[in-house]
Amino acid sequence: MYDYEWDRLRVWLEQYGAIPESVTKKEELTRLDLSKNNLKELPQEIGILSNLVVLNLANNKLTKLPESFAKLKALSNLDLRRNTFENIPESLFSLELRSLNLSSNRLDSLAFLEHFKELRVIDLSHNNIEKVDLSLEPNNQLRTLNLSHNFLRDIAALFESVPHLERLVLSTNFLQSIPESIGCMRALEELDISDNHLTSIDPVFFTLNIERLVLSGNQFGELKLEGLELLESLSLDENPLKYLEIKENFAPYLQEFSCDSCELDSLVLPPSIYLRSLCYASNHIKELPAEIEHYAVLQELDLEANEIVSLPDTLANMNSLHTLYIKDNPLNQDAKKVIEVLDPQICDIRMKTGVEIQKATSEDLEAMAKLLAVLFAIESDFEIDEQKQYMGIKRLYEDERSDLLVAKHEGKVVGMVTMQRLISSAEGDNVGQIEDLVVEEGYRKMGIGSRLINRMRSLAHQHGYKRIQLAADIHNDNALAFYTRRGFRKTHLNVYHYKVQEN
């Protein structure tokens, strides 16, 4: 029997390049990408796709969904970000969605969440939500919630509604305190509450089992850190801290600690012997304690832009340290000798001033394509074709899953790096693939590559990537040493590629 509905839907989908010609039956469609098509509505026939599991409708102009959506019983993952929804279509309420992305819409309420009994992951960032009007069943399945870039001022009721959350993002709201009710969040592993107006934290917070915590960009004038027994990473960047106390029982397994731009005049050392990264850049610190040598596995130390004159001799004994940022300090000659003993290649004391790291713009693409020719001249696996390289960079720039950074000196692009989002079956989540790291020859050994990599690592952290990875030419000894010194470890995998089509 001829299926008129499928025939009409297939024709509609083909005009957007959403299905390959090999698909002949509606039952064969389990994943569908209709993003970036400026769609204002969907056809009713969409409801016949009974086996559809993943649907991407991001970057359109949708304000509603057809009633037939209720028939998509297999749908588990729905992406509606960057549309213009003011309310959640009721046709979604009967679906057993597991992941829902509603970022960058016009929603002003959380109440609709009570209709999604099986939902585990939801992104509601960049909406117009002002209050927590949420009432969920105690055994709800929600595990990841992103409420960043909204207008929240009071979140006391939120914690009581989602006690099983494992990951919570509340950055860029108007929060002034972390209330006592957060004590019920015993499953919470990751919390980002950066860029708010926080000045206080209830003591019960320090009894939680959080592993990653971001408190940067708030208004803390003083902090006393204790407890947080399972904490591995903490960022306090850009707080006006005049006083910081770290007790002996604080985060015994801490690996990353950052107090960049916090107005501190002394360096306080966390007690963890597992610390791998320590940052006190852009403060008013005058002295580095000799006890720094106790961090036997410390790999990265950032003391840039302080008032340090001398360095302890013990610094030269830190064999694990592979990156030291120390520029913009009034170092004396003895301090510079300590650095020479340690390893001058890991230090940015020769870093070029006046170089800015920023996100690439469309005007930078041509210069970036020319830089790729420099890179491909080194890496034997690739051929130089400036037109191809330009088209590749242009497509990366236009892809929302990519990040492109450039280093500029006096307006000229002198370095670049790119990163793409991939899904890792091993990690069960997103990872970042770093590529195209190159610095113009006259600007090398000035710390520019390090700054590009560090900024990209920061972006990977913001995106929630589980890891970042890259490939390097096995004959490029300088590149291999560069990545190793910056914490990348060689795997047991070889990279193969197979050419599908000849040009």
Instruction: List the single range of 278-287, 304-313, 459-468 with lowest mean pLDDT.
Output: 459-468
Give the per-residue pLDDT at 497.
59
Alpha-carbon gap, residue 181 to 71, rounded angstroms: 39
Q: What is the pLDDT of residues 406-463, one digit of tens each?
A: 988 888 899 889 999 988 777 778 888 888 788 888 787 667 887 788 788 878 888 8
Instruction: Check residue 352 and give its pLDDT.
Output: 57
On whether residue 276 sits in a domain, the answer given is no
HEC assignment per residue over 107-133:
CCCCHHHHHCCCCCEEECCCCCCCCCC
Closest C-alpha among 97, 50, 99, 43 to residue 71: 50
What is the share, in percent, of the chain residues with pLDDT greater than 90? 56
Cα–Cα nearest to 108, from 147, 163, 141: 147
- Strands 402-409 and 355-359, how do they pair? antiparallel
3-state secondary structure of 465: coil
Q: Which H or E element spans position 394?
A: helix 386-398
Q: Tell me whether residue 413 is in a domain.
A: yes
Rounded CA separation 408/166 (Å): 39
* Helix then strand then coil, % of the chain, to nearest 5: 25, 20, 55
CATH of residue 384's domain is 3.40.630.30
Residue 409 lies in a domain: yes
DSSP 268: P
Token reading at 472:
């390097």
Distance CA 412, CA 415 (A): 9
pTM: 0.72
Tokens of 392: 């590749």
Report if residue 167 sits inside a domain. no
Q: Is residue 438 part of a domain?
A: yes
In a domain, 397, yes or no: yes
What is d(CA 12, CA 15) in angstroms, rounded to the nearest whole number? 6
Task: Give residue 435's domain range.
Answer: 355-485
| Exposed / middle / buried, residue 493 (Cβ in 10 Å: 0-12, 13-18, 19+) | exposed
In a domain? residue 202: no
Structure tokens at 22: 């090999």
Name the 3-class secondary structure at 435.
strand
Range 332-341 average pLDDT: 85
Q: What is the b/e burial string over 146-167, where b = at least 16 CB atoms within 10 angstroms of the residue's CB? A: bbbbbebeebeebbbbbbbbbb
Reply yes or no on whether the pLDDT at 255 is more than 80: yes
Q: Beta-carbon neighbour count of residue 457 at 10 Å? A: 18
State the pLDDT confidence band at 491, using cuts at 50, 70 and 90: low
Identify the band that residue 343 occupies on the pLDDT scale cut at 50, 70 and 90. low
The total number of structural domains in the chain stands at 1
14-36 as b/e: b if 16+ CB within 10 A: eeeebbeeeeeebeebeebbbbb
